[in-house]
């Protein structure tokens, strides 16, 4: 699989479809291009680039919101072996891998975090705040989640979402979170029920979680307007069950309230490796899963240009921050709560760049070898082009 040419300016992308090329602009715009609008080596002709610029498709918009990620609890009630917050594998082969140190968000730290956000928003000229409730498992500290959202309303809160395993989500709690501004929750599934229950197991007593999670989402849907972002983890241990999983989720939940996306598990957990290769066969499976999800009524996120992450994509934390439960700052979710990776505190601000340069990890650093990055980029280009072709064929663009 060879990488498709990519328009570098502003993170724009060029994807080669079955019958035409697709241009994805940094502002979210999409254009269908004829082969004659590109050179033989697959780059934009000057006239094509000029027309795209005239239509504003080459312009990257300035961020409109400050993106604040807050770990309300660094502890987790599940023992997933691939978690990037593990500091090792369970030596007994069980469900209790050692993790980052425990911390819980307190009222005092909420005050410090919101004061910090006010200062950073003023410096960036932003008035809107977007919050991600993160963990560990954020719902191990429901009071902290609710207090942060409630108090953030006076600091420009425009939207909020959560990443949770949903094992602790009750209808009453879902309603309270929604009342305070939470709009969506991302929940992960590791393949169909048998694989999921083997991988995402309870940390203390062991045992599967699939039925609990699906049941909680169904009941929370009746008690709140929350939407669900269903992440399906793909690895050598789960990919064979993804087809059955998508059908099962469609039967248990309302697909109209769900966005479903599949993502390969990265080699980020200590002692964990995903041996699934980025082959053409795998790209065809991804394409098939996306099409099936659309047929069943799920939303599937449309491919986008490459844009810097608001939290880790700028070395100075200009447009967002990741804050652990004790008020320490990290560059990215991956390093939050890990000793020697702090880049500052909410009370003292960011450390000097000379100290944080080697601690600044971003989303694109997940695959640190250039060869792996190129392979991954080519894989995503192939999958995204196929999705755009299908959306075009079915009138969904």
> Structure tokens of 201?
């197991």
CA 232, 238, 243, 244 torsion: positive or negative?
negative
pLDDT at 373: 73
**Counting Cβ atoms within 10 Å, is residue 16 exposed (0-12), middle (13-18) or buried (19+)?**
middle
- Residue 271: predicted pLDDT: 58
Question: Could you give the 3-state DSSP secondary structure of residue 65?
Answer: strand
Of the candidates 232, 244, 242, 234, the residue with the CA atom closest to the CA atom of residue 276: 234
pTM above 0.75, yes or no: yes
Check if the beta carbon of residue 65 is closer than 8 Å to that of residue 126. yes
pLDDT of residue 314: 83
pLDDT tens, position by position, 271-285: 566 677 888 999 999
pLDDT tens for each residue of 239-272: 999 999 999 999 999 999 999 999 887 655 565 6
pLDDT at 106 over 50: yes
Residue 358: strand, helix, or coil: helix
Residue carrying structure tokens 């003023």: 122
- pLDDT bucket at 1, cuts 50 / 70 / 90: very low
Tell me, what's the pLDDT at 5? 40
């Amino acid at each position: 699989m060879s990488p498709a040419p990519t328009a570098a300016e502003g993170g724009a992308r060029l994807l080669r479809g079955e019958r035409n090329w697709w241009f994805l602009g940094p502002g979210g715009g999409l254009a269908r291009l004829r082969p004659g609008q590109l050179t033989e080596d697959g780059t934009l002709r000057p006239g094509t680039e000029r027309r795209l610029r005239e239509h504003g498709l080459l312009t990257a918009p300035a961020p409109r919101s400050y993106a604040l990620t807050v770990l309300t609890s660094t502890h987790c009630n599940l023992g997933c072996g691939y978690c990037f917050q593990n500091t090792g594998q369970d030596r007994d082969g069980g469900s209790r891998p050692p993790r980052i140190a425990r911390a819980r968000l307190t009222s005092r730290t909420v005050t410090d975090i919101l004061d910090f956000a006010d200062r950073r928003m003023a410096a960036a000229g932003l008035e809107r705040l977007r919050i991600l409730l993160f963990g560990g498992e954020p719902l191990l500290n429901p009071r902290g989640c609710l207090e942060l959202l409630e108090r953030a309303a006076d600091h420009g809160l425009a939207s909020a979402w959560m990443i949770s395993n949903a094992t602790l989500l009750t209808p009453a709690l879902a309603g309270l979170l929604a009342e305070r501004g939470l709009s969506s929750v991302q929940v992960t599934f590791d393949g169909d029920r048998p694989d999921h229950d083997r991988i995402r197991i309870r940390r203390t007593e062991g045992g599967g979680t699939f039925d609990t999670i699906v049941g909680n989402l169904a009941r929370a849907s009746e008690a709140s307007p929350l939407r669900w972002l269903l992440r399906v983890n793909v690895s050598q241990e789960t990919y064979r069950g993804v087809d059955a999983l998508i059908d099962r989720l469609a039967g248990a939940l309302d697909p109209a309230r769900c966005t479903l996306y599949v993502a390969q598990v990265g080699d980020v957990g200590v002692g964990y490796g995903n041996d699934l290769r980025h082959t053409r066969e795998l790209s065809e499976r991804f394409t098939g899963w996306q099409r099936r999800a659309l047929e069943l009524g799920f939303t599937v996120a449309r491919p986008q240009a490459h844009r810097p992450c608001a939290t880790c994509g700028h070395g100075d934390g200009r447009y967002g921050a990741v804050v652990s439960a004790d008020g320490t700052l990290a560059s990215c979710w991956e390093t939050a709560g890990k000793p020697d990776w702090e880049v500052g505190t909410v009370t003292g601000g960011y450390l000097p760049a000379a100290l944080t340069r080697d601690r600044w990890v971003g989303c694109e650093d997940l695959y640190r070898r250039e060869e792996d990055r190129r392979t991954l980029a080519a894989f995503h280009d192939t999958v995204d082009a196929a999705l755009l072709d299908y959306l075009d064929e079915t009138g969904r663009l």
